[in-house]
Structure 1
């Protein structure tokens, strides 16, 4: 029987049931002419339809919620009040016009085999919230109005939907729209997780008492696809609930639990609990307690999305790690979505970016659509699924799309730097420059070394690259990071460790976990400034705060080592760094105070090509003991001074602002360093107001 046929039969059954009820009510009215034969005939017609498959909604509900025949009849009486306008009149004629509504006393006299405790809170009618008793003042319970729940009335009519009182907590889990089907959005390694979960659930002895499925890991999208695939396997719609929305007030939580217990029986769904917001920290104890109470009282198939297995929950649990597709799986998908793309392009994308299949498909679709728009403008329309473009152009478009795709999560956690510096801009000793190039090359070629040449199997630590940039302020540490980021065409983020470290136990690890998980997606370069504040030489542990601080440092170090991208730590005080920590770094780049020769090179490069420059003596300027950062600041200030004079930048401008830079740095000023064609210098001083 299809749904339309069942709907028709259910409506017929409900009409027959109400007709039977009307006869029973009419018989209780004084001077009624209804006979027992009429009632029995109506009952026979009603009972005959109860045998259809699937059964009518009232019969199905009574079976699911274990109602007795008396409770079923009482529910019918309350529902009929909402469906038949004459029921109120019958009630008034039987009980008196003041009581034109169903009551418990009426039901006791109306139906056979009455149950005296039927309206107690523990019995199904009230525990499942099927009826509501409106008892006011000193009115006895037996004569208080009884009303059927609106959701239940609609269910009896054949309208099955999730109770609207749950809508503020639940919503259908919507997944990203992609061209592929459900299986194509999961890599083989993730499909194995789906199969393992389904196998465990099929082995369960009682569907109403399934264990909770904890989905672990940082890739929420993949976890949602896994949950959707499992729910689809059992032919269940999947709904999402955010755990932080659970009410913490006991009565509100009890109402929610009761409604959910009823709804999961009337409208079977799988539930996806998003618990990432309450992980860690001490401020969510109420939410954790509410979650525990909710889990203790709900049944059916439900998933809990957390990054790490929760030790705070007591519910029987099956835990499954859901990771992003392996680099090889990502590489294969990149090759599939763009036929004809060079294999080394797919290898580079899969080694640098850590994306799930949905991300890859959406990036490919966006690049394909962009390319088709361009070709359409040129009048060269091409087949949708086989876009042939120049490999270099395609690589650049895909790379840029991946960068843009992976930025939003990290932009909310760290400061993104606009990397403009190039190898030509930086001035460092040759040995340090070579080391910087080695760092860039290791990031660029790690797929070949780790995957093609097999070093991945021999690595017992992370596959990323970490380095320490040491030198006083202004010696080029940040510029060196920008040069590498610009060369590799990667996003560069500066992390303020003071903003990451929290006074709440567990919050620091939570912040760091979010940071590194977000950075993994885009292979971003992480630049930890002033690392000596956290990685300095370890002091004696005097209290629990010191001990926990050491735990936080160790956790950060572990994440840096495990990070598959490039992590750079910068310090002004290399000598204060812990030696044990230094040994675990792959590179240490020293950014010394620039030599005379280096300062001259910096002065030769500091002004942009468009800047009008007069006769500059860079050899003389190099005599000024300034770092690269101070030289850059001096050049900018000199440019503004020359713009004020509407002339090219001259030595007088530079020397004037250099003197101010020395004052700012509390450096001793030797007049001989600032003598240059005295008459011009005096003119410059007068213009500068010094």
Structure 2
């Protein structure tokens, strides 16, 4: 200890050997010189400077010397206020400029950081603190080494609102101690950044991801210059910029606004996407407050990333759900704002829909984040309107509509090629679905840029496992894999396993089903870009009604439509919806509609007349509340953005107001003779052995059954054939039909079952 203090206090050659033109090491050398001088000054007045137990006791003589010394006796001779700022081309210079640090702030930062760069400073700081266990600089020591009076205005450069502390560059610990004896430390992330490390702060792992530069439509990558991105992830958007003019969809000659913050999203062309990106980038570049992107079917997060990239910034995309669930959100918030400032980044945060009105602590968290991010570009996004409680400053609002199909198809093509490259094969060597198939996938589903990348990765890896090129089947299965599990708590999920060839319906019903599929594919173009459903808060959903008797194929038809679109089918369980308590049914339905809007699926309300029934004259409180439920459903169905199918056995049970809001009405009649024959052949399949005497034409002519009943009879007959050990014959068919008649409560006419009636009565259906 004695030797080291003498050695370090000797003003000999510096040990740091600063690299020429490196502001960080040059600054550290200045700090070392000041520490040497401070140590020498302390040794000059210390009666026992080489005592190994110095700092652990205070002698009466030392106490007298402390009381006799003036308050500024330990002030360093070097005045940091007259130092030039660090060069702008260095990391330290960029850090100072980005956080509004002056020369004194920079020197205080270097003093606090010195032990992290050179371990020799630890015992020196312990000696100067007169406590060898306190091996980092205190507030008082840092002020002393920078030539600042401990009671002067310089101490306020370490106040909570000062840039060093507010931006998380310096942390002041031991808050219970007096200010001058509190310890300063620099977060490891700040030190690593100044040393050239751009890895994300470990405290943000799992909550924040750094988005790479967005790709352009020609396959290139957007740079970090002033030119905005040209729209790989953006397309036909609507919005209102900071200057109050429409961001797109506006006729420059007439000034007609077709894209304001309403549901009246009107016609725009493909060039409108880059225009919105430019306007959002301009709003980000002007600073002064946050920017809010309200989603109207578009991918607001990708627009935010593109806009930040266009201003030369990287994007830190925050998982708001993870941030709200973090054990110490305030700590994560400080780390986030510090990280954004270090890397000249912007923050993308959302969806703000998670900030429930009944959870005020969440609103306070966002308010604090907006306040802490002052000077850092902050872009928020969500589907709801902006709540003034979320921020002290109102954001610049924009509305983001869906991108055109061709842009989304090109996005899929690039994502598949990139995913193939990760597996080790160049994109050109991997066969992917053609442009038409990808256009169909893009038209029928809504995925954000991150979801598309994940789905493309799943599709490529699944195709590799199958040993085949990526097909439409792989892509659609990957799209379905992106659906969350929340809707499965409210509805039963069915992965479609049937196609158009499995349907046996009249031509009229088939045309109506194909019209439903057509509307689902082209709704973004017709309802969004062409604005064919303007005003009134109307959504871009497609609603269909399937009406017909039980067993005529309504549910199966919904499954076929879902399969044709490459989507899952979710069947709403009415037992989980209808509630005896007032208002609960509406809440359950709202949860279903909200979750259905988040997934790519077809929503099926089976036996819909149970909740979509006619409104009646109000005679008591029950009638009034039933009418309230119907009125709510009328409004909610009209604003729904997804694909919904209602089925009913009796169309007349539905309220006429619902009929007006339906896009497609498909009638499902009972099958005729030829259709029954086709149903018998389809339901019996090709693998079930058949007796040569089996006469399906006779079955179709004699037994008037619905498709569902024919399927039930086919299954029952197959069991009987399996029990008999013989091929399926007419006796088993007749026995199965007889059971179905009894199950349906139909009158059994013996003549229908001739000549198999004796066999049926005698159990021939079981033993042949």
Tell me if both proteins adopt one fold, taking TM over 0.5 as the criterion: yes
Answering whether residue 175 of structure 2 is matched by residue 151 of structure 1, we say no
Aligned to 1:20: 34
Preserved CA contact (<8 Å) 1:185 1:225: no
Matches within 5 A, 1:543-582: 549-550=629-630, 552-559=632-639, 567-582=644-659
User: Helix, strand or coil: the match of 2:151?
Assistant: coil
Within the alignment, does 1:185 sit opposite 2:220 as a pair? no
1:512 aligns with 2:586: no
Report Cα offsets for 1:142-168 as digits up to 9, x if no partner: 784624234387269645656544446
Instruction: Select between 596-605 and 269-278 the one with higher mean Cα deviation.
Output: 596-605
The equivalent residue for 2:477 is 404
Residue aligned with 1:14, SS = helix
* Aligned counterparts, 1:641-660, within 5 A: 641-660=720-739
State which of 110, 123, 126 in structure 2 corresponds to 1:88: 123
2:211 alignment partner in structure 1: 173
2:554 corresponds to: 477
- Contact residue 659 and residue 669 of structure 1 kept, 8 A: yes
Cα deviation, 1:303-323, whole Å, max 9, x if unaligned, reads 112123333634411222223
Distance verdict in 2 for CA 1:7–1:671, change over 3 Å: farther
Q: Deviations over 1:56-75 (max 9, x none)?
A: 83996499465784x76665
Q: Report Cα offsets for 1:533-580 as digits up to 9, x if no partner.
A: 2321124685997676346412442156x65x7x53211232211122
Q: CA deviation at 1:193?
A: 1.0
Describe the superposition over 1:66-107 as per-residue Cα deviations: whole angstroms up to 9, x where unpaired: 5784x7666555444553526525753773767776445656
Shift of 1:171: 2.9
CA deviations 1:166-218 (Å, max 9, x no partner) are 4464331358999542446244332111111123344x3xx4x3233335244
Q: Which runs of 5+ in 2 are unaligned?
A: 1-17, 48-73, 223-228, 236-270, 418-427
Alignment of 1:4-83 (within 5 A): 8-30=22-44, 43=78, 50=85, 52-54=87-89, 57=92, 61=96, 64=99, 69=104, 76-82=110-116, 83=118
Aligned with residue 288 of structure 1, among 359, 363, 373: 363
Aligned to 1:391: none
In structure 1, the residue matched to 2:494 is 416
Alignment correspondent of 1:198: 281
Mapped to 2, the partners of 1:546 and 1:594 lie a distance apart of 35
Summarize the alignment of residues 386-397 of structure 1 with structure 2, pairs less than 5 Å apart: none
In 1: Cα distance, 2:678 partner to 2:760 partner: 24
* Contact 1:58-1:156 at 8 Å conserved across structures: no
C-alpha separation in 2, matches of 1:141 and 1:403: 64
In 1, Cα distance between equivalents of 2:166 and 2:295:
35
Going from structure 1 to structure 2, the CA distance change for 1:168 and 1:67 (only over 3 Å counts) comes to: farther
Alignment partner of 1:316: what SS?
Answer: coil
Residue 346 (structure 2) pairs with residue 270 (structure 1)? yes
Contact 2:546–2:666 (CA under 8 A) maintained in structure 1: yes
Partner in structure 1 of residue 373 of structure 2: 298
Q: Does the Cα contact within 8 Å between 1:213 and 1:319 map onto a contact in 2?
A: yes
Picking from 490, 493, 498, the partner of 2:569 is 493
**What does residue 436 of structure 1 align with?**
510
C-alpha displacement of 1:243: 1.7
Higher share of residues assigned helix: 1
> 2-side partners of 1:504 and 1:283: how far apart?
20
C-alpha distance in structure 1 between counterparts of 2:752 and 2:435, whole Å: 59
Contact map agreement 2:734 2:753 (CA 8 A) in 1 = yes
Residue 323 of structure 1 is matched in structure 2 by 401
Q: Kindly tell me: are residues 666 and 406 of structure 1, through their superposed partners in 2, closer, same or farther at Cα, counting changes over 3 Å?
A: same
Aligned partner of residue 657 in structure 1, secondary structure = helix
For the Cα contact (< 8 Å) 2:541–2:639, is it kept in 1?
Answer: no
Cα distance in 2, alignment partners of residues 254 and 463 from structure 1: 39
SS class of match (2:763): helix
TM-score (norm 2): 0.66
2:174 corresponds in structure 1 to 134
Distance across 1 between alignment mates of 2:764 and 2:114: 98
Superimposed CA distance per residue, residues 18-74 of structure 1 (whole angstroms, 9 cap, x where no aligned partner) = 1222112211223689xxxxx9999499966756444783996499465784x7666
Determine the C-alpha separation between the residues in 1 that align with 2:671 and 2:541: 30
RMSD: 5.4
- CA distance in 1 between partners of 2:669 and 2:708 (Å): 12
Give the alignment partner of residue 210 of structure 1, picking from 268, 289, 298.
Answer: 289
> Separation in 1 of the partners of 2:44 and 2:312?
53
Aligned pairs for 1:590-629 (under 5 A) are 590-594=667-671, 599=676, 602-603=679-680, 606-614=683-691, 615-616=693-694, 619=698, 623-624=702-703, 626-629=705-708
Residue 159 to residue 458, structure 1, CA distance change in 2 (3 Å): closer
Q: Could you say what secondary structure the match of 2:38 adopts?
A: helix
Contact 1:175 1:225 in 2 (8 A): no
**CA distance, structure 2, for counterparts of residue 90 and residue 362 of structure 1:** 51
Alignment partner, residue 4 of structure 2: none
Aligned to 1:384: none
Structure 1: how far apart are the matches of 2:462 and 2:141? Answer: 72
Is the contact between residue 189 and residue 201 of structure 2 (CA under 8 Å) also seen in structure 1?
no
**1:96-124 deviation line (CA, Å, top 9, x unaligned):** 76777644565677664413273885464
Distance 2:451 2:321 in 1: 27
Distance between the aligned counterparts of 1:608 and 1:407, measured in 2? 28
Counterparts of 1:59 and 1:489 in 2: how far apart (Å)?
51
Match of 2:766 in 1: 687
Aligned pair partner of 2:320 in 235, 238, 243 = 243
Deviation per residue, 1:422-458 (Å, 9 max, x gap)? 5685255xxxx32432542575599999989x99576
* Kept after mapping to 1: 8 A contact 2:284/2:291: no
The question of whether the paired residues in 2 share the 8 Å contact of 1:61 and 1:266 is answered with no
Q: Is contact 1:471-1:590 (8 Å) kept? A: yes
Question: Kindly tell me: are residues 485 and 241 of structure 1, through their superposed partners in 2, closer, same or farther at Cα, counting changes over 3 Å?
Answer: closer
Per the normalisation by structure 1, the TM-score is 0.73
Query: Residues 367 and 531 from structure 1, CA distance in 2 versus in 1: closer, same or farther, beyond 3 angstroms?
Result: closer
Give the drift of 1:685: 4.7
List per-residue Cα deviations over 1:618-656 (Å, max 9, x = no partner): 546755564321221111111121122121222222233
1:609 CA drift (Å)? 3.9
| Contact in 2 for aligned 1:81/1:88 (Cα 8 Å) | no
